[in-house]
Amino acid sequence: MTRKYFGTDGIRGTVGQSPITPDFVLRLAHAVGRVLKKSQSRPTVLIGKDTRISGYMLESALESGFNSAGVDVVLLGPLPTPGVAYLTRAQRASLGVVISASHNAYPDNGIKFFSAQGTKLDDEWELAVEAVLEEAPVWAASAELGKARRLNDAPGRYIEFCKSTFANDLTLRDMKLVIDAAHGAAYQVAPNVFHELGAEVTSIGCAPDGLNINKGFGATHPAALVAAVTAQKADYGIALDGDADRLQLVDASGRLFNGDELLYLMVAERIARGDKPVGVVGTLMTNKAVEVALRGQGIEFVRAKVGDRYVLEELDKRGWLLGGEGSGHLLVLDRHTTGDGIVSALQVLQACVRSGKTVAQLLADLTLFPQVLINVRLAPGQDWKNNEGLVRETQRTEAELGDGGRVLIRASGTEPLVRVMVEARDAKQAEACAKRLAATLESAQQR
């Protein structure tokens, strides 16, 4: 079966348009509540959100939907997505719910769920919810309706958790940091975590007004952080996205480090202290240089589909701990059950403090392959996968690159586009190959 509403990270869309409307969200919560009640007599769910203005409306709809199914609700207020995952586990709740559209602008919003263990839920669970959505509601009797309460110290509890993932014998004292929370869910939490670990902290992107989330700040707009790090003469800048599950890092020179580099750094730090990982999981988009470097050190590298949920599934299947995406979604499963921008940043800074080296020095032996990405607009009904000309050109390009590069052609999950990506040790070769493949695809659509 295919999912009608759930995407790769919950349900997401434009507020006021299906399915992000209060009536649907109420029905969704009711359906989820009924699924929970099949295995628990009195479930409790936690609800957190980012700083979008629509969060108030959707929070109320979720609360009503759960209560109508006989499910109790604990409201957390604005809190990072990984904070909701942590508290769901710590509070022994049945389910965690996050109202967020992550790095999207404020007109969008979404709903995603965490299991009682603080992990993403699988496709089978989502299909079970969608099946109940097609049924008529079954309202709980008045005496069996759920109740709601607020957990007022949720941010403080999550701050303490984040600090606990940093080595007890180390401190961030003498380190100057700029923290950019994208005017999002971590605006209260992130500056305090780093400050309480000893760093001198300057905050930007920490003044949400309901409409400015991810606007000009955060992991998807790192220019503001680069400028602030330079102006403050800081050692590092930490940029999170709207729900704080992804990380971008800037050093004192203004160099931006992406998720692929930071993942490799965390692996290298463990090797240095005698805790060599068996394997690491990236995605189809992970830079080939990371794969080459890891395998050169005898560490297995596996690629999952794009999306942190697929990285997590692969890690769970293999019993490994470290994985991530170039976008900054990083998984450190012996520290947290899900991707966490703050926890990931602490792991990177911990490596710097322990080694006495900068991030650039720790990554001196890793040089990313030049990567060229070209988007080709997809004609309606176009069967590009079976196009003979594209197949031949892809085979020719792969033979030309050999072990020194790779080709990835995939459809966008959100737009009518085909993404043509080529990596090679030589930037000019990568660009020439990508342009050739894109031209082949475009000419095939014109026939």
Residues tagged active-site = 102
The residue with tokens 């297995």 is 300
> Contact 410/431 with Cβ under 8 angstroms?
no
Interstrand relation of 200-204 and 236-240 (parallel, antiparallel or unpaired): unpaired
